[in-house]
Chains A and B, each alone.
Chain A
Amino acid sequence: MPSSPAARPRVGLFATCLMNLFRPNIGFATAKLLEEAGCTVEVPSAQTCCGQPGYNSGDVDAARALARQVIAVFEGFDYVVGPSGSCMATLRVDYPKLFAGDADWLPRAEALAAKTHELLSFLTDVRGMKAVAADYAGIATYHDSCSGLRSLGIKAQPRLLLGAVGGLELTEMRDADVCCGFGGTFCVKYPEISSRMADEKTANIEASGADTLLGGDLGCLLHMAGRLKRQGSPVKVFHTAEVLAGMATGEGIGGTSK
């Protein structure tokens, strides 16, 4: 566990591409939770993408170029935190691999990786948060996004904090840890396979009896919401951070149910 460098650590908020474009509400929820956890939040405006699309597409050069940019922008902070297991795993797990053998950049990549955290892991594992002052009236089921679960070990943390939300009943769906079929560019390169995987997921969501789907990665949430809405499902979709910050209002991701 990293030591806490200051009484009120400076956190660089990593604004993931999808959050920045599709759902700023998640960014503000993240900032609110970080402040509640005793941190000072800054959002560097020079940030762009973590580079994962290049890395996963085999364009390692592009991934390295963007990784260097991220490292330069964020290495001055005490922590780097973002509301995504996928992007944060790229910083935390993949950056050191990208610069293996690079005497200049490997130490910087490793230093950044060590202070980079996915939001829920940061709040609970690093800041010791056990409760939140939020209410949500509904029955929610939580989808374990793959990178967060398998690269960062995020499983108990969201459930712990969601358990503290007033009025919220958490129910487990079957196969909560099975991929929803998003997979970054996979969902548009193999749309038929991706949709079938989403169907398996939405069937399990519906069968759980939940009226709300929660998760920690907007890519997966956009995908599942897109399929749920296409099927005419009334299930609302929010990012976990929105619920924990008391900012899960309105129709959720994907809009109205009609």
Chain B
Amino acid sequence: MNLVNTSVSVTEKLRCSHCGEPATRPVYSGSNDLFCCQGCRMVFELLHEHDLDPYYSFDELPGQTIKAGLQRPQFDILEDPKIQQSLIEFTQGTHATTTFYIPSIHCTSCVWLLEHLQKIDEGIYEGRVNFIKRSLRVRFDQSRTSLRSIAELLSSIGYEPQLRLNDLDSPANPNSETRTEAHSSLSSLQKTLWLKLGVAGFAFGNVMLFSFPEYLDLHQSSSDVWMSWVFGGLNILLSIPVLLYSASDYLKSAWAALAQGGINLDVPISIGIIALFGRSLYEILSGTGAGYFDSFTGFIFFLLIGKLIQKKTFDHLSFDRDYRSYLPLSVLRKDSTTLEESAVAVTQLEIGDRIRIRNEELIPVDAVLEDEQADIDYHFITGESEPVTIKRGENVYAGGKVLGKGVHVLVSKKVEHSYLTELWNHGAMQTNTSAKEVTHFADRISPFFTLSVLFIAIMALGFWWFIEPSKAFTVFTAVLIVACPCALALSTPFTLSSAQNVLSLNGLYIRSSSLIESLAQTNAFVFDKTGTLTSTRKTGLIFRPSQAYTHHRDECNKALQSSSAHSLHPLSKKIHSSLAGIEGVEVDHFEERAGLGYSSSVNGAVIAVGKKSFIKGYLDSEVAETSNTTEHEISTSKQVKQLETQVHVAFKGEYMGYFTFDHGLREGVGRVLKGLQQFGPLYLVSGDSNKDVTTFSELADWEKMHFNQAPMDKLHFMEGLESEGRKTCMIGDGLNDAGALKTAHFGIALSDDMSSFSPACDAIIEGEATEHLAVMRQFSQDAIRVILFSFALSLLYNLIGLGFAITGELTPLVAAIIMPASSISVMIFTFFTTRFIARKRGLKVWG
């Protein structure tokens, strides 16, 4: 049956002028505009009053709906000087600058409005939006406005700034990503890299120009000898900054490696750099030749391009979040003596404090419930997919989301000691993410490479020493120059960043391209269940009607549609949205009983929606109800029944049927699991109960399945696998997986909404992309193979160059051709081969 067939044209016309939501009960303003609610009207009028009408002209109906009621979050916390100090980036007199993170920024109109806030609040000088980071940087006058009033203004127009615990990290703290940097996409490190590249490119171009006389043999006539001095001198001048500034990282890194007794790829590179520069300097100063400064500068230029490409990051994603960026900054505390409510920083909460948490808000600390009962959604913390009903005196845990009406709780643990945050006190969580060092294949072979180059150079030196001593030194340096592994050094970053690009096009965003090698090594796959194998978003809504329903079809749909809008329960919201398009009617006597259901009267007819036991009280006869459902229950397969939750509907004393919410598996899960099995055993580690065990055991050959796992259990499980010598790949979505993701060799956080929170990890995958995971794992291995091939290619160039060098024929012109040719051909080779393979594997290659 189809519930959505009665599309009503009236609702098409009645759209809110602010947010575009259908206005079932329109609110009119003085002009011709109509709104879905008072909240939207107030925002519209506020904007109109301050000449901000163009807000509505960039994008169609850009507003945020305020239907759920304008919540005025408590920002009095922002009056606290200590908190101000950590939120404000810098002050000069009364001028101050701060950055807000505003998740609801989504269109051109948002940018325009947020950059014209000075029209509403005159204390604001300027607002700058960074669209990708969803942040607003505000410069304001502290004597005329305050942090608090700006935050309140923002939330009153539908752009509530998100204040999280990690905002308290002072900007001066070098260990945390500073707030200033959070606003700009380029880190200072990347900026320096750009500048170094600029210097090298500048020198490369000019040195090549000045080397033309040499290429064309123009300096032969004795009258023009002074010219080669001018050009030579200029080349030296141009190359000095390249050596001292642009190439400094390579020299420093090589020196550090040698000081520790190791050899990395920067060692042969540095030998090449010094040989090139020293030889060229000697040739020019002694007047014996023109030097290889063109090759030298070009070499550094290409190396830096490789380095820049390796540093590619995804600006809109954050890979190092912990609970501090998940928990709220402040909470409402009730004073024990005066009973007054005031917002306090979560870190200042003491055991025994009484706090109030409103609908849809997160519980910041472990606490004991003081109210009769409450519905709490823990799916992000424990992996439990259904909201849990908690009774008075029972514990609630930090990270749970309160559903329905607000609750009062008594703090039982400080924030740093709660169930969730304990995880971060574990040793495995203390290690820095970037410290998870990857040894590249290139670094592993560089000792052999360096030694063989030195060996060949010394052999050549010895050989020429006996044949023609005058040439011996020239040949020795020529070998060192030509064997410089420029192309070799480029092949890894170019292949990996090309692979990283391809994977990101397909929905897998890897923190750093070098981590692709880690992905390619993985041989054990651990999955979280809720939100990972099953999708929370794609929950299917199926209505199984009874016979009585056919008589009341239209009436019942209308009643359902209108009454469900008043319920705050997530399941009611789903029912409501499935009936969108049906005209709403007046609802009276709405009454919701937490954990059971709701009842209401619609046009005089009573409707009850909820648990079976709850709606029984609203039925005239129970017999009809049972006879109808059993028929359906038999027809639904055993598998579906185990996954479903039922919501029953009683209307006018008759049983209408029930809704089932099928926590559907993600698309292609079976295929992915079978695909990953080729690479290693599969494990399932779920925080949920084992109610779906049969469904999942049919999907694939699991090595082991664990249920009811606490976050710490997951972490220990991963440690166990790692200590067995397995290279684990963990795929999870919630904070409860944070420990496992961190311990894993390669941790993938799954996210349906890219702008929402995801725990610290090595890669983030889009929900829809999971079905390609097996192919992606295969592709990462292919990428490593491409690196090997490009190594072979660059070694070939080195051999050709060596041929010239040993025979003493390496003229500057030959060097100037071989060096760029090898670099560019490696770039082209890796770019096209990775894309060719990706296409063959069925991955998307172009955006």
A and B co-occur in one complex: no
Taking beta carbons and an 8 Å cutoff, which residues of A are in contact with B?
A: none
Taking beta carbons and an 8 Å cutoff, which residues of B are in contact with A?
A: none
